[in-house]
Structure 1
């Protein structure tokens, strides 16, 4: 397994919010973590990226124990997060935001240009706006930029927190189609969502409620059971 989480607990101050969560992600998979607001999905992402400490349990990524690794060391291993709310730098240009994705890599100028061209091929709407301030982009374009910046880091596992946040259904479908295409290039994904749109591209789904695993199923099985999904998103 590329990522293994075994009985992980964490929280804020003295408040425990994840109560022994366990999940796995195999190389080349798209795995979804589904659940309503307040169930611990974002806390799980923060735990994996190193923002929150591991109180107990075990997390391994590509054979390395993550528990005591700093966020920058996790990034160098190929673990990258696209945070909820996009997290782009509004005062920087589109091109400058993309270049920030190279921070954890040592590359030549030629490699940087090739990587940027590859990302712009995925998001042609950004190609003519490299010198434009990121603040001038639409919500959908900002999410494209955030995803593009994450891809510039050449992640082995990309953690995506609420890709659909604040976006029109058409844009959400387009972004998840890009995720599907990227899986074919060797990128593995762990996607947390409160909408069921991710089920159409993912292999397996974990449902969290109250900071605990409630259910694990093949995504296709959940997609065929609207009532089941709705019952866990209430």
Structure 2
């Protein structure tokens, strides 16, 4: 598969001071001070699951990062950056990977790619909260979602999609992106019936998948028990500071 890395976005002043750059994707990781997006590029390349890497980023990153096959200038819109990258994909399905996964492992990417069903138009990875917290016991608190009959979960920062699924639903992608930090707003995307189930703690994973398939007119797959490193991002400066102790 081709892989798309949307690497735009801004950070606050405290975060910028901590990493010495206005670009989160350039946050230096480990004793080698490798930019986090370089860590992601290298892991994707080493996974054996990727044909071409397309990155959407500011020119400052384009001058610094090695191993990217095609660059696209980023805008200030995350969804537009994803669509811009997907529009250049030349394989039937693509991986989309966030640029701020400092602990990502190539084996985790390979395992995710190997589990994608042949008929899936979109495949999302879920990480178990217990496994995440066991892997990163002293990390800043993360937000997990509780669904009926399941341990709390979070979504991986890596997913697979047939490009047209998101290109044809760019407005929905924009709405989902704007709601991603709020469980309540995310639940509202599912409609009133499932929102009520969410509030009543009766919402099931099956119901969420079925609703997503109806909205997107596609076949969706959910890969449970993905590796924790696929979900540890450095969205906040506290996450970054913790990551520097792990590399």
Higher strand share: 1
- Structure 2 length as normaliser, TM-score? 0.26
- Structure 1 length as normaliser, TM-score? 0.27
